[in-house]
């Protein structure tokens, strides 16, 4: 405990899922957490939960796709906190769009605007608050930013961009004692999965989860808190000589080249039951 004592952390997409779990873990480790999201109602629940458990958190409405919203947010953070030690760029959306020639331009633009451009904008306006004392930036990429998916070229492009932009940030700010790394989750049990594939109560959602269990060596989906503890490692001094890296946390899904015996080995299929 106490790995982030005396630190101030900004977390985008903090209303639910990985962002909510990370806000809780950072607060447990002593950080003062600035929780930002466009979803105000869920965001207030995140902050209330932290404060009711002796943590310290504040909520700020933020649309990461809007430059003016990000600028106002950064000005608020500067006037309230002065400097920032940790930036967790987590806000993102995902949706299938069909084959590339069928992919709606509006959907492509929306995903790029929130996921990639949003990460760029928040970093651009928050990094000046880190230049004096240094710090850690964690950008949420995805295993889908390291490989590709059927019918999700917009998400693949956005997350692939985040993966490589993180390397650029590490180079740009290494001499300023600012580290930049990416966290690449696999399939995590979050509301985003519900939106993409259906909830656990829906048939489509159940089928999706069973398929993910089958294809993942660890035989299950990840938990948001498991991603939060990886983010904690990257935010803390435990990773003081780690920068420009993408940490994959996918339960082993990308450890193999093709399913091979997994396709017909009954024992493998039954091992998740």
Cα-to-chain-centroid distance, residue 240? 20
- Catalytic residue of the set 81, 103, 155, 173: 155
Mark whether 155 is an active-site residue: yes
Angle, in degrees to the nearest 10, between helices 118-126 and 153-173: 20
* Six token digits for residue 240: 């003081």
Longest dimension (CA), the chain: 60
Backbone Cα Rg of the chain: 19
Q: Are 159 and 57 in contact (CB under 8 A)?
A: no
Distance CA 159, CA 137 (A): 16
Residue with tokens 């509301």: 191
Q: Which residues are catalytic?
A: 155
């Amino acid at each position: 405990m106490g790995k982030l004592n005396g630190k101030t952390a900004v977390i985008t997409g903090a209303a639910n899922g990985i962002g909510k779990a990370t806000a809780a873990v950072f607060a447990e480790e002593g950080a003062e957490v600035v929780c930002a999201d466009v979803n105000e109602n869920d965001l207030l629940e995140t902050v209330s939960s932290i404060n009711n458990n002796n943590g310290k958190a504040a909520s700020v409405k933020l649309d990461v796709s809007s430059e003016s919203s990000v600028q106002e947010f950064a000005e608020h953070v500067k006037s309230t906190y002065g400097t920032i030690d940790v930036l967790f760029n987590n806000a993102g959306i995902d949706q299938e769009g069909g084959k590339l020639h069928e992919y709606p331009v509006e959907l492509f633009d929306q995903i790029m605007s929130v996921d990639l451009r949003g990460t760029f904008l928040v970093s651009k306006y928050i990094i000046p608050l880190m230049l004096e004392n240094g710090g850690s930036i964690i950008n949420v990429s995805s295993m889908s930013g390291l490989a590709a998916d059927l019918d999700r070229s917009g998400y693949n492009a956005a997350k692939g961009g985040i993966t490589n932009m993180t390397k650029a940030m590490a180079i740009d700010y290494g001499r300023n004692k600012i580290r930049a790394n990416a966290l690449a989750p696999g399939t995590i049990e979050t509301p985003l999965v519900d939106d993409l594939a259906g909830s656990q109560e829906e048939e489509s959602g159940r089928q999706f989860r069973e398929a993910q269990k089958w294809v993942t060596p660890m035989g299950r989906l990840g938990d948001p808190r498991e991603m939060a503890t990886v983010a904690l490692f990257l935010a803390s001094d435990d990773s003081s000589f780690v920068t420009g890296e993408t940490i994959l946390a996918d339960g082993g899904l990308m450890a193999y080249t093709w399913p091979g015996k997994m396709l017909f080995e009954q024992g493998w299929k039954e091992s998740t039951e």
